[in-house]
Amino acid sequence: NPLDGLALRDRGLLSVYARGDDYHEVLKGRLKQLGGWMAARLGGDLKVFVDTAPLMEKPLAQQAGLGWQGKHTNLVSRDFGSWLFLGVILTTADLPPDPEETDHCGQCRACLEACPTAAFPAPYQLDARRCVSYLTIEHKGPVDPDLRPGLGNRIYGCDDCLAVCPWNKFARAGREQRLAARDDLAAPPLAELAALDETAFRARFARSPVKRTGRDRFLRNVLYAIGNSDNPALVPAAKARLDDASPLVRGAAVWALGRLLPRPELLELARAHAGAETDPDVRVEWERVQSA
């Protein structure tokens, strides 16, 4: 249960799908195998996609009978719950269609109420600007300060709305070993992650989907988690990033220290660093913590 990791405030929480090898590569290989079999048996042209084409996979999957789009906008399966990946094979072969799946959410609102940043304005609607998965993976700049506390210790993605879905009682453990969670990504220490330079980041996440965020964005998330930890023992890890080459990382370090340090010590740190800061976003972070 990924929700168990939320209590480990000095450790980072990665979405469960990101704790093994990159699913894009694993699924694409499997799809090519299946596509080769289909081409040999059925003929026709085909193409395979795993998040690499402008296709609305979830509505297509519902029409194909694989599941339905739940109130959290993700696909839910009566066989697998919410824990699944989607890949696509487009083919010109003439195949008999399966019946479309219908909605089985009923009156349940568990996923909507579980969201830490209130990203669902209504059932079946997602405001990506508030979604933790979007903010920690796709969003390139500093995260809105009002949303940072809601990130908690989530440093790559979020599983909360998936984890509470009651249809998960039918889920079964996968057998693909390349997607199995690596021990070093289960709940890595935040202080350890904050020390990663570019080379170490690339080495640690070489086969992981995490690598696509890049080191700077990832450390931004790590430092927000440090700021949310309420753990003064992590202050040195944040201080070490005040001189980081990346403004994104420096700004996140300022915010983290603003949450962890006593005000006199924070103001002393500001006098030593804020005046020499040249990046406007980081200067705003210093101004914000000094005026708080």
- Torsions phi, psi of 146, nearest 5? -70, -25
Q: Give me the residue label for tokens 């909507």.
A: 112
Residues 6+ apart with CB under 8 A from 13: 2, 5, 6, 152, 153, 154, 155, 187, 225
Pairing of strands 154-156, 13-14: parallel
Instruction: State the Cα–Cα distance between residues 157 and 12, nearest whole angstrom.
Output: 11
4, 22, 45, 51: which one is catalytic? Answer: 51
Q: Is 51 a catalytic residue?
A: yes
Type of residue found at 98 = D
Q: Give the tokens for residue 33.
A: 């195998």
Instruction: State the Cα–Cα distance between residues 162 and 124, nearest whole angstrom.
Output: 14
Q: How far is CA 48 from CA 44, 68, 91, 282, in A?
A: 13, 22, 9, 43
Q: Which residues are catalytic?
A: 51
